[in-house]
Chains A and B, each alone.
Chain A
């Protein structure tokens, strides 16, 4: 069949159509239409068409994998879509003094990575259980998937919500999002005060969100517990901004004074990203 085995079942998920590859499931980011395939010495040889197809498939898979790593999604040969740690668009120490480099490093390399590892593990177990038809295991794994998957989703959003001061961190939003904030909350200060008070009031671990209700076109401030993503509070909610109020996000620097952390984190919030998401949903 080629240099590697793709069974008929997996081939359904990995449709090889010409140069393009289609994947089951929606990736989080828009992906390039087709990966670039390097010029192959076999390309003009008709006798090696089968070899060509498999070699191109292999090459596209490999390039897809390398592309995928940059985008935060990779694919194993079995057809199961696993995730990997997205890179931060800034240095660990770039958010000082609002968030220390030590916290950023631990948060990214240890906590987020652990969520990803456990999420992938849970996904594999879920895949096996679904293939076997083991419903009780499928249901049992939902907790782990919600927690670890939610952790991955939330933190991926969080890294995009932060940006160093010299790249526009903390600059209030202009345009439609700024106008929407003024309409719904009265002023930027009122929104910040509301988010800070709700964040400080979260008992235990959780997140505080500025979300957009897609249907009602309304901005909302919500909190979620543990690693629940914002959609658990409402299926129409799109997260614009999320602030991690788990203790690991601030303890080494602010100790137990969560309100101080919440006050200072606004200096590195990336409103440009929030505006982009807002304008996409409410053009």
Chain B
């Protein structure tokens, strides 16, 4: 009989997460490692702050029990989540009802674009980015968090999953608009880069040429889709899972291709707020500038490479023996 394996005793303290050091920036968001037993906390609507306090404390002590069930996935937290006030209140042990109105429980965070807000000048002005990201995108995030506060079922999803779940196969729940718009805008910022445009290279270019004939043809199709879209919406270059080819797809309002299980590669926001400040009503010029100067083929290539892990685009070349 085998000897039972020796389990080295590991000190419990190594499991416990390090407390945020007080000397660090007080505004830094809490680290992601905390797990919350959300359901076990009685949800009292008028003690919003107190709930968060309890959560943080519980986070400290139950960190070594890794529950298999739900957890909150926090991305970069919204800058408006006022951490220092929270710590003050914990010390005071009180909270004021008037303050609760400005607090939002952050389930999903506002992700910043991977470049500075003025990096896309002159094609997309800093003003547009400030409004589009700072007001619209942030508004969607806060709206989503507010809606999720009231909901008890939609919990523990990643943003991708949340979009698909709230889409509800064509009968969208009220949270869908906000969730999908948050996802769409995250995707959109990453689809652009300063000094973008030009052409894709290597594998992505080959795939585009295979599916559209030529890159020029694809560009025309993309611009045409942007111009013929009625109302607000998005234009996408997607990799279709079933057809196993790239296609240009236009969607209305907040819908995006992941609800149909397709894999988007790049996107263009053709809601009016995306271009009105810079181009007024000239949607065609905006779309052309996007294609020529803004679109990030690097990001597209990375997404394509990841997509090829899920969609078999070519038969494996098995030599005949």
Contacts and interface: CB of A to CB of B under 8 A. Distances in A.
A225 B272 CA distance: 15
Interface of B: 131, 135-136, 139, 177, 230-233, 252-254, 271-273, 276-277, 280-281
A147 B252 CA distance: 14
Interface string A103-127: 0001000110010000000000000
Contacts of A247: 232, 271-273, 276
A256 B142 CA distance: 15
Shortest beta-carbon contacts, A-B, top 3: A226-B231, A247-B272, A204-B232
A196 interface: no
B272 A248 contact: yes
Contacts of B271: 204, 247
B168 to A, nearest CB: 16
Contacts of A206: 231
Contacts of A252: 276-277
Contacts, number: 50
Given A106-B281, A204-B253, A256-B136, A251 B276 contact: yes
Nearest to A107: B281
B232 A256 contact: no
Given A203-B254, A205-B231, A205-B272, 17 more contacts: A106-B281, A110-B281, A143-B230, A203-B177, A204-B231, A204-B233, A204-B253, A204-B271, A225-B231, A226-B230, A246-B272, A247-B232, A248-B276, A251-B277, A255-B131, A255-B135, A256-B131
16 contacts: A106-B281, A143-B230, A147-B230, A204-B252, A204-B254, A204-B271, A206-B231, A225-B231, A226-B230, A247-B271, A247-B272, A251-B272, A251-B273, A251-B277, A252-B277, A255-B135
Nearest to A111: B281
Contacts of B276: 247-248, 251-252
Nearest to A248: B272
A227 interface: yes
Nearest to A147: B230
Question: Most chain-A CB neighbours within 10 Å: which of B135, B231, B233, B277?
Answer: B231
A225 B230 CA distance: 10
Interface string A237-256: 00000000011100110011
Contact of B135 (A111, A225, A256): A256
Question: Most chain-B CB neighbours within 10 Å: which of A106, A114, A247?
Answer: A247
Contacts of B273: 247, 251, 256
A91 B272 CA distance: 25
A80 to B, nearest CB: 23
Contacts of B233: 204
Interface string A245-280: 011100110011000000000000000000000000
Question: Most chain-B CB neighbours within 10 Å: which of A110, A203, A256?
Answer: A203
Nearest to B131: A255
B101 to A, nearest CB: 17
Interface in A214-247: 225-227, 246-247
B143 to A, nearest CB: 11
Nearest to A251: B276
B318 to A, nearest CB: 44
Question: Most chain-B CB neighbours within 10 Å: which of A110, A143, A147, A255?
Answer: A255
Contacts of B230: 143, 147, 226-227
Contacts of B232: 204-205, 247
Interface in A180-217: 203-206
A106 B136 contact: no
A252 B273 CA distance: 9
A272 B235 CA distance: 42
Contacts of B131: 255-256
Contacts of B277: 251-252
Contacts of A114: 281
Contacts of B136: 256
Contacts of A204: 231-233, 252-254, 271
A110 B276 CA distance: 13
B262 to A, nearest CB: 21
A107 to B, nearest CB: 9
Contacts of B135: 255-256
